Amino acid sequence: MNMYDIIYKKRTGNRLNREEIYYFVEGYTKGQIPDYQASALLMTFFLHPLTDGEIVDLTTAMCQSGDTVDLSPIEGIKVDKHSTGGVGDKTTLIALPVAAACGVPVAKMSGRGLGFTGGTIDKLESIPGMKTTLAEEEFLAQVNRLGLSIIGQTTNIAPADKKIYALRDVTATVDNLGLIASSVMSKKLAAGADAIVLDVKCGNGAFMKSAEDARALGKIMRTVGRTAGKNMVVLITDMNQPLGNAVGNSLEVIEVIETLKNKGPADIRLLSLTLAGTMICLGGLAETPEDGFRKAEEALESGRALEKMTAFLTAQGGDAGVIQDYGKFPQAKERRAVLAADTGFITAINTEAVGSASQRAGAGRETKDDPIDLSAGLLLQAKIGDRVTKGQPIAEIFGNDTAKLENAAEIYSAALRIENTLPICPPLILDVL
């Protein structure tokens, strides 16, 4: 077997078998296959999309390229939650304490943000003292003790994905359904949960721009998960505007805490409770997702979810005093108001540009090792469907560098469309698969 024949076989429209897929994944991970041959093969997947069977084989090979986490020392049905990435998406930090407060054991490995999307681990690190690296025994013991732990992904989870993703990033091969599905699912399968709730984002702030593509991605990830014996539910949700009002690490965690105090924005509340309700149902603690939603709502409204969050932060060394005193978060030295350029209704928001504005203010990385400013970001004061008057403040930008803030404000202003007619607001939850 050799790479030339494998590339030729796929380029001419033939299905690759399991041995050929493993040959590529193992060889590339070990550095035995050069980037140029791996890139050529990745590009053939745009000419001849991977079949479901090929995606299953690719995912399994990538999953087996590194360590897999054994969650069997944790009692109960372990349920994971994953979002394909968006702007202002802080639902993990709400849905997980809610589900844990309802008895679902949650052992979650999360990633950092890259580019315009934020990552849960960066958000958590805006809490003074918070540890996001725990030894495996500590991680498992904490879940058994209080039902919830969230840590950064260890380096040896799906190393093949790490290498292939880095190559995709520089060869214009990221936005391929089979490659995204295998990348996401290889890490999810290695993380060891029994059931997974996937939130596939769809719209101008997501990889999948159309509902049709998002559904196709959701269906194939569901197939891959079920083939591996996991119980799966996929939500298709809107990303044509940021979720909630806060974008940027500490600003988002403050919005998380407000939501856990039952004072958060309606969209964040709805999606977080829907995700938590689905987790509760998959965890066998509710008959239906609707019943799970009611249980989740009760945990939120009674304050039990906030108590769970407090216990979780404290267990991982975080200063839970942030819950009462937001002044304990890293503070931006500068703020800049963005004013409406026109009078009318906000009819559209270029969500990816909002993520870029936040990144520009300092909240995101341009390359993977860049430092980030945990205090930087945006607070939106108007969203799609709101009527604004020329000169009215519509957002506030936070950071520590005047020039960057100016630039972020320009990017944000250009991201909005203001028109005379009231738009139809996009529904938040488009489908459940």
Contacts of 41 (CB under 8 A, 6+ apart): 3, 6, 7, 10, 24
- Give the nearest distance from C-beta 175 to ligand URA in angstroms: 8
What would the DSSP string read from start to end of 336-358? Answer: EEEE-SSSEEEEEE-HHHHHHHH
* Interface of this chain with ligand URA, residues 224 to 243, rule: CB under 6 A: none
- Give the nearest distance from C-beta 184 to ligand URA in angstroms: 5
One-letter amino acid at 160 equals A
Q: Which two tokens stand for residue 423?
A: 């738009």
Nearer to ligand URA, 165 or 345 (CB): 165
Nearer to ligand URA, 208 or 247 (CB): 208
Nearer to ligand URA, 165 or 326 (CB): 165
Nearer to ligand URA, 183 or 316 (CB): 183
Q: Which alpha helices (H) appear in 243-320, and where do they start and end?
A: 249-260, 266-282, 289-301, 304-315
- Give the nearest distance from C-beta 169 to ligand URA in angstroms: 9
Are the C-beta atoms of residues 398 and 324 closer than 8 Å to each other? no
- Give the nearest distance from C-beta 277 to ligand URA in angstroms: 24
Half-sphere exposure of 222 (CA within 13 A, CB side): 17
Are the C-beta atoms of residues 110 and 149 closer than 8 Å to each other? no
* Interface of this chain with ligand URA, residues 113 to 142, rule: CB under 6 A: none
Nearer to ligand URA, 113 or 264 (CB): 113
* Interface of this chain with ligand URA, residues 142 to 201, rule: CB under 6 A: 165, 179-180, 183-184
Indicate the residue whose CB is closest to ligand URA.
183
- Give the nearest distance from C-beta 165 to ligand URA in angstroms: 6
User: Angle at CA 237, nearest 5°, toward 232 and 241?
Assistant: 155
Are the C-beta atoms of residues 229 and 356 closer than 8 Å to each other? no
DSSP H or E segment with residue 54: helix 52-63
Site mask, ligand URA, residues 30-69, x = CB under 6 A? ----------------------------------------
One-letter amino acid at 326 equals Y
List the helix and strand counts (H, then E) for the chain. Answer: 16, 13
Nearer to ligand URA, 82 or 336 (CB): 82
Phi, psi of 262 (to 5 degrees): 65, 30
- Give the nearest distance from C-beta 197 to ligand URA in angstroms: 16
Site mask, ligand URA, residues 201-220, x = CB under 6 A? ------x-------------
- Give the nearest distance from C-beta 102 to ligand URA in angstroms: 27
Number of residues that bind ligand URA (CB under 6 A): 8
Alpha-carbon distance 24 to 92, whole Å? 34
Nearer to ligand URA, 207 or 412 (CB): 207
* Interface of this chain with ligand URA, residues 287 to 316, rule: CB under 6 A: none
Alpha-carbon distance 426 to 237, whole Å? 10
From the list 27, 66, 85, 264, which residue makes contact with ligand URA (rule: CB under 6 A)? 85
What would the DSSP string read from start to end of 229-242? Answer: T-EEEEEEEE-SS-
Are the C-beta atoms of residues 408 and 370 closer than 8 Å to each other? no
- Which residues are catalytically annotated? 82, 161, 168, 183, 187
From the list 83, 84, 126, 359, which residue makes contact with ligand URA (rule: CB under 6 A)? 84
Q: Which alpha helices (H) appear in 302-337, and where do they start and end?
A: 304-315
Q: Which residues bind ligand URA (CB under 6 A)?
A: 84-85, 165, 179-180, 183-184, 207
